[in-house]
Structure 1
């Protein structure tokens, strides 16, 4: 544990630890380099447990990709959720608790792509589940149905089905040239179809019908005067 492939990454990890120590953190456990050859030291970082950390430290702001475990205390579940969400990253979370219900409740509130209850990274082993992060941890998913769909090109095709006396037509207020009340008509039409409550929908529907009636009346009048 502690082997690193990236060039100069050990130095970056040590800089994160040093920054935390300068701001009041404390190392409570750390592994040793062991019997490593001189050329291997640059590609190894000892497992490190560090306490008294906070979110002013770079260690809690940047991804480490190294064997460093920073530990923060919390007083309430709400505080734990707030601390976990106070990050620009959001790949995975592991919630441990003696209460399964409590752990699930906490996990449901953390903004991330994958979550494990009383386990770590088990979601990655379930290849039927989508895997991926949110925020600065990326976008998109692989594995699962969502992962397969991400590899597909989705095409939407719409056609009029034949029904007696029924045909889709463009309403006159939004036919070219667009009428002066075209935007109001479109806005009311959307509200009538997708309004948040029945009263907003009814009010919008009445306005749609009124605009259509006024438009038809105006068209008929123009034809007679023409």
Structure 2
């Protein structure tokens, strides 16, 4: 990092050029100043080249910060600049919690000598894309969807999901084995609703979502019994 120099590319052999906007260069320095005021330290920083008197104030050398925490703006805002804040962690659970303590979630890069461990961590980070032992390589795979979560946006481009985002989806429902099977509203809950309509609805819910298999079977038996009674001549005479 210390050997990297910034300067006008036409004025010498420099590693990095200028930040695109002078306002953004000032914002990057403000993020660094805020971190320093709250206890962070600059571990290492690149150098300025021979800028000259006519050079614009848009050059920002790569900067590594240590002793940072999440009270600092650099850990809560998107820098979009050559600033690398470093935080220590004692467990995988802690590093996942720290990574997710942000309103942004575009992408993450997990580096580890244990690939399975890295994949496990990446799967728990709330973001749209992830790279294992690499950086932003997923963006180069145009068959993969690209996009973020939380305040990093919504929707995707590229890949199948990106094409679907440009489509209007329509849901169509029909009887699969027509004309042998037809979807019908059970008589107990047809209008006008019968006296046992509420009991029928309760049994239907218990049949579909009962806690145990036994509860579901018992509710199903009672449900079928109620339907058969509804169809019997005695029930029809009583209803009249």
- Secondary structure in 1 matching 2:42: strand
2:43 counterpart SS class = strand
Judged with a 3 Å threshold, the aligned counterparts in structure 2 of structure 1 residues 89 and 184 are, in CA distance, closer, same or farther, namely: farther
Post-superposition shift, 1:112? 1.2
Structure 1 partner of 2:28: 13
1:26 maps to what in 2?
Answer: 41
Q: Which residue of 1 aligns with 2:125?
A: 110
| 8 Å CA contact retained: 1:2, 1:47 | no
Which one of 82, 101, 104 corresponds to residue 86 of structure 1?
101
| Cα offset, 1:70, TM superposition | 0.4
* Gap change, CA 1:195 and 1:13, over 3 Å in 2: farther
Instruction: Please list every run of 5 or more consecutive structure 1 residues that lacks an aligned counterpart in the other structure.
Output: none
Instruction: Note the 1:161-176 alignment, pairs <5 A.
Output: 161-164=177-180, 166-176=181-191
Find the partner of 1:96 among 111, 114, 130. Answer: 111
The corresponding residue for 1:137 is: 152
1:123, distance to aligned residue in structure 2 (A): 0.5
Note the residue ranges of structure 2 that are not aligned, 5 or more in a row. 1-15
TM-score, structure 2 length as denominator? Answer: 0.79
Question: Please, what TM-score do these two structures have when normalized by structure 1?
Answer: 0.83
- Equivalenced residues, count: 223
Which residue of structure 1 lines up, in the alignment, with residue 11 of structure 2?
A: none
Q: 1:117 to 1:225 in 2, by over 3 A?
A: closer
Match for residue 217 of structure 2? 202
Q: Deviations over 1:152-203 (max 9, x none)?
A: 1111112234243x32211224323455765665565355346675345335
Summarize the Cα distance change of 1:187–1:33 in structure 2 as closer, same or farther, 3 Å threshold: farther
> Which string of whole-angstrom CA distances, capped at 9 and with x for unpartnered residues, describes residues 110-168 of structure 1?
1111111110000000111111111111111111111111111111112234243x322
Q: 1:29 to 1:200 in 2, by over 3 A?
A: farther
Q: CA deviation at 1:97?
A: 1.1
**Closer, same or farther in 2 for the Cα pair 1:60/1:193, shift >3 Å?**
same
Question: C-alpha root-mean-square deviation of aligned residues, in Å?
Answer: 2.9
Q: Of the candidates 127, 133, 142, which is equivalent to residue 127 of structure 1?
A: 142
> In the aligned structure 2, how far is the partner of 1:83 from the partner of 1:177?
58
Bigger proportion of residues as helix:
1
Q: Give the secondary structure class of the aligned counterpart of 2:56.
A: helix
Query: How many angstroms apart in 1 are the aligned matches of 2:225 and 2:165?
Result: 44
Q: Is residue 114–residue 123 contact of structure 1 (8 Å, CA) maintained in 2? A: yes
Higher-Rg member (1/2): 2
Distance 1:129 1:188 in 2: 46
